[in-house]
Structure 1
Amino acid sequence: MAPRAIVYGGGVIALMMVALCATVLYQSRQDALDRARETSRNVALIAERDIERNFELYALSLQAVVDGLGNAEVMALPSRLRGQVLFDGAATAKNLGSMLVLDASGNVIIDAGNDTPRKGNFADRDYFTVQRDNPSAGLYVSAPFRSRLRNGSQSIALSRRVSHPDGSFAGIVLMSINLEYFHQLFAGLSLGSHGAISLIAGDGLMIMRQPFDPKIVGRDISQASTFRQFQSSMEGSFSDTSSIDGMRRLYYFRNFQTLPLIIMVAEAEPEIYAAWSRRAVRIGTLMAVFALGFVALSFILGAQLRRRMRAESELQLLARTDSLTGLHNRRTLGEILEREWRRAQRMRSMFSLLFVDIDRFKAYNDTYGHQAGDDALAAVARCIGENIRRPADTAARYGGEEFIVVLPDTMPEGASVIAEKIRAAISDLAIEHAGSEYGRVTASIGSASWTPDQETDVRTVLKAADQALYEAKVAGRNKVATCAAAG
């Protein structure tokens, strides 16, 4: 009976281990997905910032032309000098095509690239009709088109309306941008052999896509399921099958804040999971073999598993705490800050933070030695821990002689009281410090309180607390300085 019980027990444990393996592999798969999502987000941000920076400069150049056209002194200048004043060299920038002024009929009347304007009428272009029909259009980003003045070069245009003093339509100023700019930008961003990155107009027209295909430029994807996802929020991530090539991808998208554009980055799911699949096959095979052997060695392996779990638990604890002070380490602090900040955002509650720095600690180390410095750090850490009482309050070593205290749901007045208690407790330790103006180890504390919103992140209150700490230092050290509550 006993051997059978051992075999049955070993079989149950083996099944549990297989289930554990499956859970770990599933989590590993999710980790691969999260890494891909983060990579896509970073690539999208790089492209978005480059485009927004350049478009902002182009928009300023267009506005300068509009302002110049309304200046009689500028318009009275000779054509060459007038062009230099109006266009200030913008038309020679890389990846820019034509920069033109059109009259109310759509005819070219000023050409940045030529003293004598090239002939052309563009009254049929959307960048003209939108400005003509909508006085409040502002900066307009056109649909892709083939240039009539530059041998059919694929471009988009930025345009602004020019109005008479009475507000009636007088024409437009336009600047064409070669789509080669987006092609070169996207070509430099690696997303694997089946990855894709696209710039899409707000109405669903494809402006550029990498891998590049001229036939896709200008394609309307407004009815595609992916585009409906793009319209659902300012940014997000989802999996879907491309309407262009049928490849299933993980999509990350961002709607530009100031432009009617969407940046989309997509990694092919087979490439995302390729490394995970190989690892899963290897691990799964080994686990199956190991589970069969475990039936025969159930008791021995069970004891080894228990020892391993204890060791992992101890390692996890060590990884989350600072070995010298016993407080949370900086890595754990980052997790706590993000968690409590998100909670404060949801609850619209006050989030307070203390930045504690031991005064003249380098001089203390130089005078008394690093062992005494370590003892002082540990003593200060105990003072901090003893003066925060609520379970939600958290203290961590930020680095060196700096500590952070996180105080959720704490008003500025309460945070100042706690900060003063900590400061006084550290001073009351009466640890001799000949290099301090107070003759003992003291600490300066910066306090900041914030009600989070969607436009700020936890770095905002960290910077505020750091600034308050700086003010406490400037005020003579051994002080508490408070940043005014915001948010």
Structure 2
Amino acid sequence: MQISHLFRRLQTLIGSPRMVIAGGVVTAFGMLGICAVLLYEGRQDALAHATESSRNTLLVIERDIARNVELYDLSLQAVVDNVRQPDVMSLPDQLRNELLFDRAATAKDLGSMLVLDRAGNVIIDSGSEIPRRGNFADRNYFTVHRDNPDVGLYLSPPYESRLRGGDPSIALSRRINNPDGSFAGVVVGAVRLEYFRRLLSGLQLGPHSTMALIHANGQLIMRAPYDPKIIGRDLNGTGPFERMIAQPEGQFVDQASIDGIRRVYTYKRLTGLPLIMEVAPAEADIYEAWKGRAARIAILMTVFGLTFIGLSVLLASSLAKKAQAELMLTMLSRTDSLTGLNNRRALDDLLAREWQRARRSKESLSILFVDVDYFKAYNDAYGHQAGDDALAAVARCISANIRRPGDSAARYGGEEFVIVLPDTSGPGALGVAETIRMKVAALGVEHATSQQGRLTVSIGVATWQGKKTDTVYHVIRAADEALYTAKASGRNTISATILA
């Protein structure tokens, strides 16, 4: 029984208008939350896709540069080995140059390959049988080998070529030693920056994305999109370069020092070379497609959520009106339409409930039967409408004089009323009865056929004191019998009995 009661209460709570609205709001926000999670995962997927694309692009660039540098370095090593051979150096200039410089030295985007003596003067020139005149002792690709015999292959920062009218280039150089190991000169080959420009421009990531090749000393060798004004810029001290120089490879998000755009940098130091390659798609490019989808989905989900909440409010309003109507119907089904008091059906439930409470608490329970004196004669003399008015007036007197929350009254039938007074002893019940009798008489409603000449009531009182194991019907019958006693005593009187 208790479980069934709890289940009914739970059903009532769940079906209440507030719970319907709360459920609608929670459901709507739950759907919006799921949508937000999916959109966030979509954003992460966009970032992951861009990162993967950057890595692939980086790999393509690295392999191309590494392959060309390796081929060019092999040519440099061949020159270093052959200039040490007296028989090679004694050959005619044209034949000697053909032997020293293979076809790699004449490849596109490669400048002349030069052999410099220990003073930095050009002694052999791949571009001419008669060496062009020039001294390059001040170039770092010369001084680094002169001062350090263990450098191996050296790749220089960008410079402007003196032999090719200022063409931007980088140099690859190797040291030439005398048989005793002393410095004999340098073999150097130039790589035009145009090679790097064409390499990077053939790979597109986005309208605001960049790719850059940076020397380990911080000088910018090449950047796409290409801007000749920034080639050779020193990037030392800038946030992105400082982070790239700290680790051989990695990924981070930072604001570019050149144009201030936030980008996702993926970078790597090329193996064996003082070069850092970075691919940096802009955040705006990465998330552009995602933002469009996210905005459309967010708008649709917001509209759907608000619609769902609106429907929940409408449903809750409908349920509230239905509940109110049901309550009104319930009240009407339990209320006497003429007097506004409880009807007989409500009285039966009330008596059963109060009797159970009185039995548990062992407290007194008093029941009053009120009857309008000579009511049939009043109806005959004054008419049924006047009779109805008289009953309503009596009901108002009764309602006005039962003040405690637990006290209640009902129309028993016809001109009879029942008053239930929980936790009320005999004297207290008599006091209520006497007050009601006096108030009704004080109304002064004319009743010519009554001995008093005005409308009066007779009241029977029965009080159960919590000791005798009776039923509520015994108490009602006792109150009814007391009423007959009061009427037999001349009416406009009170008769009381106590069930010991």
Q: TM-score, normalised by structure 1?
A: 0.60
Tell me if the contact between 2:212 and 2:277 (Cα under 8 Å) persists in the aligned partners: yes
Q: Which amino acid counterpart does residue 205 of structure 2 have in structure 1? A: L
In structure 2, distance between residues paired with 1:150 and 1:52: 25
Residues 1:115 and 2:146 aligned together: no
Residues 1:192 and 2:206 aligned together: yes
In structure 2, distance between residues paired with 1:164 and 1:42: 44
Q: Which amino acid counterpart does residue 122 of structure 2 have in structure 1? A: V
Among 280, 296, 302, the residue aligned to 1:266: 280
**In the alignment, what sits opposite 2:146?**
132
Residues 1:226 and 2:235 aligned together: no
Structure of greater Rg: 2
Alignment of 1:256-405 (within 5 A): 256-295=270-309
Alignment of 1:68-107 (within 5 A): 68-107=82-121
The DSSP-based 3-state class of the residue aligned with 1:214 is coil
The DSSP-based 3-state class of the residue aligned with 1:273 is helix
The DSSP-based 3-state class of the residue aligned with 1:99 is strand
**In the alignment, what sits opposite 1:372?**
none
**In the alignment, what sits opposite 1:404?**
none
The DSSP-based 3-state class of the residue aligned with 1:98 is strand
Give the length in aligned residue pairs: 299
**In the alignment, what sits opposite 2:262?**
248
**In the alignment, what sits opposite 1:366?**
none
**In the alignment, what sits opposite 1:352?**
none
**In the alignment, what sits opposite 2:222?**
208
Q: Post-superposition shift, 1:90?
A: 2.4
Q: Post-superposition shift, 1:7?
A: 1.9
**In the alignment, what sits opposite 1:152?**
166
Q: Post-superposition shift, 1:89?
A: 2.2
In structure 1, distance between residues paired with 2:91 and 2:311: 96
In structure 1, distance between residues paired with 2:181 and 2:283: 54
The DSSP-based 3-state class of the residue aligned with 1:110 is strand
In structure 2, distance between residues paired with 1:146 and 1:166: 34
Among 63, 68, 81, the residue aligned to 1:49: 63
Q: Post-superposition shift, 1:295?
A: 3.2
The DSSP-based 3-state class of the residue aligned with 1:101 is strand
**In the alignment, what sits opposite 2:37?**
23
Among 78, 96, 109, the residue aligned to 1:64: 78
Write the deviation string for residues 372-400 of structure 1: whole angstroms up to 9, x where unpaired.
xxxxxxxxxxxxxxxxxxxxxxxxxxxxx
Residues 1:10 and 2:33 aligned together: no
Write the deviation string for residues 261-298 of structure 1: whole angstroms up to 9, x where unpaired.
01011111111111111111111111111112333667
In structure 2, distance between residues paired with 1:90 and 1:49: 17
Q: Post-superposition shift, 1:48?
A: 0.8
In structure 1, distance between residues paired with 2:145 and 2:118: 10
Residues 1:143 and 2:157 aligned together: yes
In structure 2, distance between residues paired with 1:240 and 1:259: 25
Write the deviation string for residues 427-477 of structure 1: whole angstroms up to 9, x where unpaired.
xxxxxxxxxxxxxxxxxxxxxxxxxxxxxxxxxxxxxxxxxxxxxxxxxxx
In structure 1, distance between residues paired with 2:101 and 2:237: 40
Q: Post-superposition shift, 1:178?
A: 0.5
Q: Which amino acid counterpart does residue 209 of structure 1 have in structure 2? A: R
Tell me if the contact between 2:106 and 2:112 (Cα under 8 Å) persists in the aligned partners: no
In structure 1, distance between residues paired with 2:310 and 2:222: 61
Tell me if the contact between 2:268 and 2:278 (Cα under 8 Å) persists in the aligned partners: yes
In structure 2, distance between residues paired with 1:266 and 1:87: 38
In structure 2, distance between residues paired with 1:139 and 1:281: 54
Q: Post-superposition shift, 1:212?
A: 0.9
In structure 1, distance between residues paired with 2:27 and 2:154: 66
Q: Which amino acid counterpart does residue 159 of structure 1 have in structure 2? A: S
In structure 2, distance between residues paired with 1:134 and 1:83: 28
In structure 2, distance between residues paired with 1:230 and 1:127: 24
The DSSP-based 3-state class of the residue aligned with 1:252 is strand
In structure 1, distance between residues paired with 2:180 and 2:311: 93
In structure 1, distance between residues paired with 2:266 and 2:27: 41
Write the deviation string for residues 34-76 of structure 1: whole angstroms up to 9, x where unpaired.
1111111111111111000000000000000000011122111
**In the alignment, what sits opposite 2:401?**
none
- The percent of aligned pairs where both chains have the same amino acid is 57
Q: Post-superposition shift, 1:16?
A: 1.3
**In the alignment, what sits opposite 2:324?**
none
Q: Post-superposition shift, 1:124?
A: 0.4
The DSSP-based 3-state class of the residue aligned with 1:216 is coil
In structure 2, distance between residues paired with 1:222 and 1:45: 25
Write the deviation string for residues 314-347 of structure 1: whole angstroms up to 9, x where unpaired.
xxxxxxxxxxxxxxxxxxxxxxxxxxxxxxxxxx
In structure 1, distance between residues paired with 2:236 and 2:63: 24
Q: TM-score, normalised by structure 2?
A: 0.59
In structure 2, distance between residues paired with 1:54 and 1:73: 30
In structure 2, distance between residues paired with 1:32 and 1:156: 37
Q: Post-superposition shift, 1:143?
A: 1.1
Tell me if the contact between 2:75 and 2:105 (Cα under 8 Å) persists in the aligned partners: no
Write the deviation string for residues 170-215 of structure 1: whole angstroms up to 9, x where unpaired.
0000000110000000110002111111000111111111111112
In structure 2, distance between residues paired with 1:205 and 1:137: 20
In structure 2, distance between residues paired with 1:146 and 1:12: 68
In structure 2, distance between residues paired with 1:160 and 1:217: 25
In structure 1, distance between residues paired with 2:203 and 2:255: 22
